[in-house]
Structure 1
Amino acid sequence: MRAYAVGDIHGHLDLLKEVHALIAADMAQHGAAPVVHVGDLVDRGPDSRGVIDYLMQGIAAGQDWTVLKGNHDRMFWRFLRDPAELEPGLRADLSWLHPKIGGAETLESYGLHAPGDRPIDAVHAEAVAAVPQAHRDFIENLPSIYPLGEVVFAHAGIRPETQLQDQIEDDLLWIRGVFLEYDESFGPLVIHGHTALEAATHYGNRVNIDSAAAYGGPLTAIVIEGREVWQLTPEGRKPLRRDVPAPFLKYMPPSR
């Protein structure tokens, strides 16, 4: 089994196109294979709308791309459905439009003016009118887990000692502590994002590919063959093996 994976995009269409070029170059040498995007398409970056358009158009054109749902993607969808509806996993004192979360940048990419600084009812009405129904449907129908060969992909991770078919979406989109602290095998190698690091890191039982594009870092693309992992770079493949973990960023996105 060979597959590619792309980390948390967060509205950075330019970075997404760059890593897809790296993937295309690797495929030219090794052959075509599926590409899995681990979620968080939107928020914080400048062009969330462009990211969604790009992915939808690629899939419609027949690209073998899988796009998983991230917690930010669900917050976006939930806001459009009902801005008063609470998002499980997000602190009760925050909202999707809070500056720490980045929803305002997403709505700005759809043409809204100052969505974080105006009455919520007006912003919601404008957002519903501005965001195409096709984008809403796309996000709503994204899967939250994708097993493939000896690997399983999920945005945030999986709950340890729980069968894949019994995982729940709230965990797949938001989990941290019990997943990040688990040292035993999960069975399949888990490829995930959600928890921003300075660089992609292999922990033996899981690989975190969120290299903090949301905060000015790079966007990571990897290739997996069996359980072996390489990071894609302009110079080619770089082995990504179990190593000293990259440090967590000083700012950790707020969650429950």
Structure 2
Amino acid sequence: MTDGRRTARPEPARAPEEMRLYVVGDIHGRADLLEPLQARIEADAARYPDRDRWLIYLGDYVDRGPQSREVLECLSRPPAAALNRCCLMGNHEQAMLGFLADPLAGAHWLEFGGLATLSSYQVAPPTPDADGLLEAAAALRAALPAHHLAFLEQLELSRRFGDYLFVHAGIRPGVPLEAQAPQDLLWIREPFLSARKPHPLMVVHGHHVSVAVDVRANRIGVDTGAYATGRLSCLVLEGTGRWLLDTREGGPRPLPD
């Protein structure tokens, strides 16, 4: 976890003209936080009917928290009419799909949050042997609604809007954006987190927990550890402006530099 300390940044990144972006960090099975935050986002978006409004989720919807099933149900429904939506893949969704495809090779998923997802689908923890893993994967496949699986399989690795690149974990410094490896986009920590040189675009990411939305010269981290802290954060971007929206009363608050 970082302390949110900030460093000086070059010219501020800019979102596309006439566009308002809402960027939500790692949810990790906290539908109880997602639903009220989404309601606040929809209420704010309704105040800007002349904007092209996008809701961007940075991945890690499942695991750790107790309501993975409810989170996927919420996100697999069509968004509010006022909003376009982009859902990115996180490393936890990749691991869940890996377990479903090959339970023996993907058993590591159960060691970092997957058991909570099994529980949310009323699948018992497996015994630690091949038969147990195969049975658990079969039970999860049977319990997983088709539209949840379709949602997971259609997740994107990254999306660019204006001067911003949205991705779950980050990028590998020095590698062209078009050559970034999916494994880095989903899993990287270092050397991305400690990099100080500007990237080709301002990177907005989750994956690495900080106590507050973490603004650096070359990246913005939006994962505030919702599953453990009860804080699910939304970064709002328009032009060069940046605001913070969460489940507290009131509208977006300016994000400190």
| TM-fit CA distance, 1:207 | 0.7
**What is aligned with 1:246?**
none
Alignment identity in percent?
39
Amino acid at match of 1:81: A
Matching of residue 28 in structure 1 with residue 46 in structure 2: yes
Aligned pair in 2 of structure 1 residues 73, 116: CA closer, same or farther (>3 Å)? farther
1:34-84 CA distance string (max 9 Å, x none)? 010000010011111111111111249784111000000111111011112
| In 2, Cα distance between equivalents of 1:117 and 1:23 | 42
Is the 2:121–2:143 Cα contact (8 Å) retained in structure 1? Answer: yes
| In 2, Cα distance between equivalents of 1:228 and 1:158 | 23
Aligned pair in 2 of structure 1 residues 51, 224: CA closer, same or farther (>3 Å)? same
1:142-157 alignment, distance < 5 Å: 142-157=155-170
| In 2, Cα distance between equivalents of 1:97 and 1:63 | 34
Matching of residue 160 in structure 1 with residue 178 in structure 2: no
How many residue pairs match? The answer is: 233
1:91-106 alignment, distance < 5 Å: 95-98=108-111, 101-106=112-117
| TM-fit CA distance, 1:153 | 0.3
Q: Please report the TM-score for the alignment, with normalisation by the length of structure 2.
A: 0.84
1:85-96 alignment, distance < 5 Å: 85-86=105-106, 95-96=108-109
3-state DSSP of counterpart to 2:29: coil
| In 2, Cα distance between equivalents of 1:28 and 1:60 | 10
1:57-113 CA distance string (max 9 Å, x none)? 124978411100000011111101111225xxxxxxx81112xx1101101111213
Matching of residue 47 in structure 1 with residue 86 in structure 2: no
Is the 2:25–2:57 Cα contact (8 Å) retained in structure 1? Answer: yes
Q: Which has the higher contact order (CA 8 A, sep 6+)?
A: 2
Which is worse superposed, 111-120 or 130-139?
A: 111-120
Aligned pair in 2 of structure 1 residues 236, 59: CA closer, same or farther (>3 Å)? closer
Unaligned runs of 5+ in 2: 1-15
Matching of residue 199 in structure 1 with residue 212 in structure 2: yes
Select the residue among 190, 198, 213 that pairs with 2:203: 190
Which is worse superposed, 72-81 or 136-145?
A: 136-145
Which is worse superposed, 152-161 or 113-122?
A: 113-122
| TM-fit CA distance, 1:133 | 3.4
Which is worse superposed, 25-34 or 198-207?
A: 25-34
| TM-fit CA distance, 1:115 | 4.3
Which is worse superposed, 116-125 or 68-77?
A: 116-125
Which is worse superposed, 226-235 or 189-198?
A: 226-235
| In 2, Cα distance between equivalents of 1:22 and 1:190 | 24
**What is aligned with 2:85?**
65
3-state DSSP of counterpart to 2:220: strand
Q: Please report the TM-score for the alignment, with normalisation by the length of structure 1.
A: 0.84
**What is aligned with 1:121?**
134
Unaligned runs of 5+ in 1: 87-93, 243-256
**What is aligned with 1:111?**
122
Aligned pair in 2 of structure 1 residues 227, 176: CA closer, same or farther (>3 Å)? farther
Select the residue among 168, 171, 182 that pairs with 1:169: 182
| In 2, Cα distance between equivalents of 1:116 and 1:10 | 24
Aligned pair in 2 of structure 1 residues 227, 171: CA closer, same or farther (>3 Å)? farther
Matching of residue 130 in structure 1 with residue 139 in structure 2: no
| TM-fit CA distance, 1:117 | 7.1
1:202-221 alignment, distance < 5 Å: 202-221=215-234
| In 2, Cα distance between equivalents of 1:117 and 1:45 | 22
